[in-house]
Amino acid sequence: MRSNLVVDAAITRFKQFGVQISSSEENGK
Average pLDDT, the chain: 82
- In the chain, the percentage of residues whose pLDDT exceeds 70 is 86
Q: What residue ranges do the domains of the chain occupy?
A: 1-29
Core vs surface per residue 6-17: b (16+ CB within 10 A) or e: eeeeeeeeeeee
% helix, strand, coil for the chain, step of 5: 85, 0, 15
As a whole number, mean pLDDT of residues 10-20 equals: 88
Q: How confident is the model at residue 20 (pLDDT cuts 50, 70, 90)?
A: confident
Range 9-15 average pLDDT: 92
